[in-house]
Amino acid sequence: MKRADGNPITMLLVAGGTGGHILPAIAFGDWLREAHPDVNVAFMSGSRSIELEIYRAFEIEPYTVGVSGSPLGVPGVRMIKRWAELFFGFFQAVRFLKKMSPDICVLFGGYVSMPALLAGKLSGLRSVIHEQNARAGRVTRAAAMMNIPVAAGWSDCEPLKDGSYANVGVPVRRFEKMNRKEAWEALGVEDEKTGGPTVAVMTGSLGSGKLAEALLELTKMELFSSWRFFVVDPSADSVRKASVNVTLLPRMWDITPLYVVSDLLVTRGGASTLSEVRALDMPAVVAPWRGALDDHQMKNARAASCSKILIWNEDESSLTDLADKLQKLYAIFGDKNSNIGNMLYNASMYGEKICRRLMDFAVGSRKGEVDFGG
């Protein structure tokens, strides 16, 4: 894929905030490098430490714009500081675009996308935005008002009108083949035979003490005495036992080993995680974080829900209800690990299909003129 002058096309992928925005961008970038090695790929990030941590975990050094978050909803000096960051971030983005001269920009969200969006509009750069959530964020809504094409992760993208966006799905990464023995070794945990299922509890990029505490209470119930729980806790600096059947794991960005050893999942409602769960076809209970902007995690959960994905509302439902949902999923779907190889392969193929759709959308005609298939 080359320019009219024969030079390679350059694609700029912009993503910041947390893993929900950044991981789909990384997945798409990895697919681009493999499927289109003649395309130059570059990344732009915000300045928060967690953003750089995620990129560097995948050996990517992004161009950094000094934007640390939204100026809305924060008090006093912090609000002024963040407005200033957006203002100066715009000029940083303009300088970078002039230096790099990308052909296409794909925005994946996070507030770093706003200065990149404005700089691209000013320079006439072909830009598209990918919205991972079932409720469009502020940057996506602004982009839509500026007639920037929107690629959505789900069939719904509130409050945008039907037909104003294309449902391409959320990019998920390629999963390397891994058996249970390799997965246990990667986690640094011994494969103990408990007689019950293994449950992975994923609390989100920034963690959730509330969800972790709820699960610790749940595991005290007698009916879960033979179950084994792994709780991903960003505050943990090493693997350690929290109780007889609960192990805390430090934050990890490649959680393939955890998927492989687990029979069930309990997770927050981040779009990136839910897309991986759907791709892997794993049974899961989703506990959306109700403090998310515009309650977008609950909307994601509803968009992803199916017979294998059940929703538990921690603000309105009891631990008994959560226990019932976990037992129901395990009773129906049982041990999925007899088919690990196919599970990982099918998820990788699912991710490639989504990346191809997004690529077609990014390089093709404006929305409505590209056939995205099923």
pLDDT tens-digit series, residues 233-256:
877 778 888 888 888 888 888 889
- Residue 325, class by beta-carbon neighbours within 10 Å (0-12 exposed, 13-18 middle, 19+ buried)? buried
Q: Is residue 357 part of a domain?
A: no
Q: Is residue 329 part of a domain?
A: yes
Domain of residue 318 covers: 180-347
- 119 & 61 share domain: yes
Residue 311's domain is classified under what CATH number?
3.40.50.2000
- 194 & 327 share domain: yes
Residue 347 to residue 343: CA distance in whole angstroms: 6
- 28 & 58 share domain: yes
- 61 & 152 share domain: yes
Question: 């969200």: which residue's tokens?
Answer: 109
- 266 & 227 share domain: yes
Q: N- to C-terminal Cα distance for the chain?
A: 25
Residue 55 has pLDDT above 70, yes or no: yes
Determine the pLDDT at residue 368.
Answer: 36
- Rounded average pLDDT over 84-113: 93
Confidence at 109, pLDDT banded by 50, 70, 90: very high
Confidence at 367, pLDDT banded by 50, 70, 90: very low
- Rounded average pLDDT over 56-81: 86
Residue 102 has pLDDT above 90, yes or no: yes
- Rounded average pLDDT over 301-320: 93
Confidence at 217, pLDDT banded by 50, 70, 90: confident
Q: Which long-range contacts (CB under 8 A, 24 or more apart) does 89-97 make?
A: 89/65, 89/114, 89/115, 90/115, 90/118, 90/119, 92/65, 92/66, 93/44, 93/65, 93/118, 93/119, 93/120, 94/119, 94/122, 94/123, 96/44, 96/63, 96/65, 97/12, 97/123, 97/125
- 274 & 342 share domain: yes
Looking at 17-31, 184-198, 317-331, which range is the least confident one?
A: 184-198
- 81 & 226 share domain: no
Residue 93 to residue 358: CA distance in whole angstroms: 23
- Rounded average pLDDT over 210-232: 86
Determine the pLDDT at residue 205.
Answer: 58
> How high does pLDDT run on average in the chain?
88
Please state the domain count of the chain.
2
- 203 & 335 share domain: yes
- 120 & 259 share domain: no
Q: Is residue 373 part of a domain?
A: no
Determine the pLDDT at residue 338.
Answer: 59
Determine the pLDDT at residue 8.
Answer: 82
Determine the pLDDT at residue 170.
Answer: 96
